[in-house]
Amino acid sequence: MATSSTLFLVLMMSLTCNLYSNACYPSIISFGDSLADTGNAKQLATTVNGQGLHILFPPYGETFFHTPTGRCSNGRLIIDFVAESLGLPLIPPSQGSKENVTGFGQGLNYAVASATVLDSSFFEARGVDIPTNASLGVQLGWFKESLPSFCSSFSDCKHLVGQSLVLMGEIGGNDYNHALIAGKSIDEVETYVPYVINTIAIVVNELIELGAATIVIPGNLPIGCSAAYLTMFYGSNKIQYDNSTGCIIMLNKFAEYHNELLQKKLNQIRELHPEVNILYADYYNAAMQFFLSPKKYGFTNGALKSCCGGGGPFNYNPSIECADQFSTTCAQPDTYANWDGLHLTEAAYRVIFKSIFEGPYTTPMFKSLCPNLMLPSIEALSSPI
């Protein structure tokens, strides 16, 4: 007859199994740029040529963390909401901490703000300066180098990666942003797109070889709605705007072109690896919801003007960045979709998260893979971990 201690042990094992079963994924592996970076750029601040250091000062992080964390927003990012929905702690940055390097725990984040898909040599050959060399390939290299610290054999590593939810960005937007801001024409930058898509595919295939079983690959956001671009092209008589949103048509069509090529490439990978869950995350249309109807989503101050910035028609000034002593910050960030002209507010990222992971904006739907996804009310997620 089983003793009470044995019954207790069996009960605890059962509860633990149910916890992991409900969570679907016991860990997250993340790659990407500023939309996913939870602190790597902060850790690497001495090696990024001083670029982007304004994110290390208030008001960044003010809404949720009440202090700057290296996230390019006033609070949480999409990856933070994903972790919370899976019952996991917020995923730490992989760089700069001995604890992170030696312990995988419930995941690691390799994303770096300003990162590109393509390596720096691609841009150097085209006369484009980029603020960091932490390309997608470099991030993958970091991950592969760190794997032996997490697992003792190839099969163990493959099992670890296979259990994890792999988030591939968003990444790719900066390959175009850096070039366009440097003055390259949209026609020239359009030639970059096949290179970007092919490189994403190479990394996805490498991750599959390493054991990845579920990979979420987001598309590009509607960049024509960015306060930075709206400011850059403000007053030009050559620019056409969408009457329903106020966004720049040619830039949104460019983003759609990237997304179309990405989806075609992902379909090819699915055919080669039907056993792997390859999910396209439609960030473009998830975000377009609040650009079309900002007040419906609580953005009573609109979706185009940034909360924090250096003035101008969209409160964006590349010479006076958010956190600069001459910048201003709105009193209610949750009523804005745009945070600093280049990045979104926590409230906007929340809408995208819910649309992607709870709603219909992934192909196939994420909810079909994780039907027991724990989705606490957003009001319950009110304090940092």
Any idea which residues carry the catalytic annotation?
34, 340, 343
Which of these, 36, 379, 95, lies nearest to 217 by C-alpha position?
36
Beta strands in the chain (DSSP E): 28-31, 107-109, 165-168, 214-218, 277-281, 308-309, 328-329, 362-363
User: What CA–CA distances, in Å, run from 384 to 44, 86, 90, 280?
Assistant: 23, 16, 9, 29
Handedness of CA 368, 374, 378, 379 (dihedral sign): positive
Burial (CB < 10 A; 0-12, 13-18, 19+), residue 380, is exposed
Structure tokens at 194: 């096949």
Helix pair angle (136-150, 154-163), 10° resolution: 120
CB atoms closer than 10 angstroms to residue 293:
13
Pick from 62, 28, 42: which is nearest to 339 by CA? Answer: 62
The shares of helix, strand and coil residues in the chain, as percent rounded to the nearest 5, are 45, 10, 45
Nearest partner of 310 among 322, 302, 301, judged by Cα: 322
Beta-bridge partner residues of 329: 308
Residue 165 near residue 83 (C-beta atoms within 8 A): no
Choose among 319, 330, 299: nearest CA to 63: 330
Buried/exposed code over 205-234 (b: 16+ C-beta within 10 A; e: otherwise): eebbebbbbbbbbbbbbbbbbbbbbbbbee
Q: Tell me if 362 sits within 8 A of 370, measured CB to CB.
A: no
Intra-chain end-to-end CA distance of the chain, in Å: 43
